[in-house]
Amino acid sequence: MAALPAQAGRADRLDALRGAAMVWMAAFHFCFDLNFLRFIPPQDFYNDPRWTLQRLCIVSLFLACAGVSQALALRQGQRWGRFWRRWLQLAGCALLVSVGSWFMFPASFISFGVLHGLAVMLVVTRLTARAGAWLWPAGLAAVLLPQWVQHPFFDSRWTDWIGLVTHKPAVEDYVPLLPWLGVVWWGLAAGQWLAASRPAWLMGRLPRPLRGLAALGRWPLTFYMLHQPVLIGLLLLADALRR
């Protein structure tokens, strides 16, 4: 089977998968907001497997898609200059998330959430992309290492971003380098294999009902930054109207 051309267009199927993750994320956050504003009976989003498993799947989908996207960008010859321009947007949004969460949750603000983790992991994946098939075992090692190695040194806000903590920090979002780098590495390895061996799985036509998801999936950072303010604003308005 022919490999993906170096100058291929959008990977609509990857965009649709990312779009599905975005819709799932928005639904999850909507339920969280309903709980936070006491529209629904109290839910434990931090310990109840019904919610923690959903978060695990959503973050895994996002990070795997990010790894595949990096594989395609590198295959299409993305230079460091363009990479850094996009990276600065991501890092800037991560900073805004920290500031915004500090105002809402000063005791548990987000110091290293999904955007912070992704900013670090994208640099690592860019530097390790030539590892090829070694990315699979490296990803497995990254996923398993936090299960084998923990130390109190990594429990502070200055070091917990590495992931070798003895307990999960009390923050609203936490996506450390380990184990999540492993998921991005697997996405990168899968993207390289798909581009070389199964390009139609990425570039094939989409059924009409999924085209909206693909369009949404092209704007992940914008959607991520806007969806919570919009949801919370609407719920605050609804809360004011019901009083």
Tell me the mean pLDDT per 10 residues along the chain, length 243.
58 95 97 93 93 97 97 93 96 96 91 96 96 96 97 95 95 96 98 91 87 95 95 90 74
Instruction: Note the pTM of the prediction, 2 decimals.
Output: 0.93
What φ, ψ does residue 87 adopt, rounded to 5°?
-65, -40
Cα 147 from Cα 160, distance rounded (Å)? 15
Cβ contact 21:65 at 8 Å: yes
Which pLDDT does position 199 carry in this prediction? Answer: 87
**Cβ–Cβ under 8 Å, residues 196 and 5:** no
**Predicted pLDDT at 1:** 45
Answer whether 66's CB lies under 8 Å from 114's CB. no
Which position has the token pair 């599905």? 20
Expressed as residue numbers, the domain containing 164 is: 78-204
| pLDDT score of 10 | 80
Inside any domain, residue 193: yes
135 within some domain:
yes
The answer to the question of residue 36 being in a domain is: no
> Is residue 125 in some structural domain?
yes
* 68 found inside a domain: no
**Domain total for the chain?**
1
Q: Do residues 194 and 1 lie in contact, with contact meaning Cβ atoms separated by under 8 Å?
A: no
